[in-house]
Structure 1
Amino acid sequence: MSSLVYLIPLALLLGGAALGAFLWSLKSGQYDDMQGAAERILLDDE
């Protein structure tokens, strides 16, 4: 039971860090062009 005192705040901290990283990637434009990368591998560059 005493281990929950450490594990619950650690889980909340890691979840908050993951949420912060996701929001940062949204603001930096990571997900702006979802079709471009998928179609770029099909094009033949010379």
Structure 2
Amino acid sequence: MRTERNVFIINLAISDLLLCLFTMPFTLFQIVLRYWPLGLFISSL
């Protein structure tokens, strides 16, 4: 199971999961509150 293809697919799955975990809460804030409550510091990241 440790072929290059499987490692690549697992790497993509982990990166997709991390991207969702870090971006979804901020997007949810913006959608629910209809403005960006977290200030300029986070928007510049």
Tell me, which stretches of 5 or more residues in structure 1 are unaligned? 37-46
Moved beyond 2 Å, runs of 4+: none
Residue 21 of structure 2 is aligned with which of 20, 23, 26?
23
Number of residue pairs matched?
32
- Greater RCO structure (CA 8 Å; 6+ sep): 2
Q: Which is higher, the Rg of structure 1 or of structure 2?
A: 1
Tell me, which stretches of 5 or more residues in structure 2 are unaligned? 35-45
Q: Alignment RMSD, CA only? A: 2.3
TM-score of the two chains, using structure 2 as the length reference: 0.54
